[in-house]
Amino acid sequence: MTDRDVNLESIINRLLKVRGTRPDQYVQLQESEIRYLCHKARELLVSQPILLELEAPIKICGDVHGQYYDLLRLFEYGGYPPEANYLFLGDYVDRGKQSVECICLLLAYKIKYPENFFILRGNHECASINRIYGFYDECKRRYSVKLWKTFIDCFNCLPIAAIVEEKIFCMHGGLSPDLNSMEQIRRIMRPTDIPDCGLLCDLLWADPDRDINGWGENDRGVSFTFGSDVVNRFVQKHDIDLICRAHQCVEDGYEFFANRQLLTLFSAPNYCGEFDNADIETS
């Protein structure tokens, strides 16, 4: 499909049509339309840096995890694009029931507002993870395995981190013992899968830990945990004010760490019906 064949405005309008209806009502776009979103977004993503440099004001949002009606509620609260600029920190798919709608709306907004709407990669935007935790099965049930592979090709081109106003360093997971210079992130080539270890893995998988100093083993079995001393050294060395990340379900939708030098955001309220947590965005 070409730009002439696809009406992006129509796709967005259909995705938004379920606003105010009962939750779990699906929006069944045509597979060809979704394929267009993936291909168009992929072209756009690789044309922009892997380490984004963004300006305020911008609203920063945490994990979404297929909770489409909560994503719509987030836009109701913060303003639908282009009313506000957004940076999402990854984990759009898996666990929730409507991963397809979530990622399609985010990709559509990225295409429509390329300089105002930004989406980073989370650890669930990876074939080996979303093959297991729900997205693959949703694609297969509602569309095809081939479409899942098209999504993966797009995910492999997502940016990894962002710096807002040279002072807020944003990623999905956390810091890495291998990260000495921002230039190391800029040198990562796309498309890329997520390796089992190393800088790229850590940026998507690492977690802060109040009970340790330095680096520790991560209970996830991937990457590391890091203490407040690691955060202190990092922000001083790189002259930043805040590290902003997602990746963990926190009770109020946000949680500070290391003397408010690190902030965890989570934007999937009542996560899979299990946690009574609030959703949050920060601007």
Whether 65 is catalytic = no
pTM for the whole structure: 0.94
Largest interatomic CA distance in the chain: 56
CB 162 within 8 A of CB 50: no
**Whether residue 32 has pLDDT greater than 90:** yes
At residue 3 the predicted structure's pLDDT band, cuts being 50, 70 and 90, is: low
Given the DSSP bridges, would you call strands 281-282 and 224-226 parallel, antiparallel or unpaired? unpaired
Catalytic residue, chosen from 124, 172, 238, 247, is: 124
So what's the pLDDT on residue 273?
44
For residues 165-178, give the mean pLDDT: 98
Question: Using one digit for the tens of pLDDT, what is the confidence trace for 118-151?
Answer: 999 999 999 999 999 999 999 999 999 999 999 9
Question: Using one digit for the tens of pLDDT, what is the confidence trace for 86-120?
Answer: 999 999 999 999 999 999 999 999 999 999 999 99
Domains delineated in the chain: 8-282 (3.60.21.10)
| Three-class secondary structure of residue 118 per DSSP | strand
For residue 266, give the nearest of 242, 247, 243, 239 by alpha carbon.
247
Q: Which two tokens stand for residue 268?
A: 């999937």
Instruction: Label residue 270 left, alpha or beta by phi (over 0 means left) and psi (-120 to 50 means alpha).
Output: left
**Whether residue 192 has pLDDT greater than 50:** yes
Phi, psi (degrees; rounded to nearest 5) at 226 = -140, 145
Q: Which two tokens stand for residue 259?
A: 């003397």
So what's the pLDDT on residue 265?
94
**How many whole angstroms separate alpha carbon 137 and alpha carbon 220?**
23
For residues 175-199, give the mean pLDDT: 98
Instruction: Label residue 241 left, alpha or beta by phi (over 0 means left) and psi (-120 to 50 means alpha).
Output: alpha
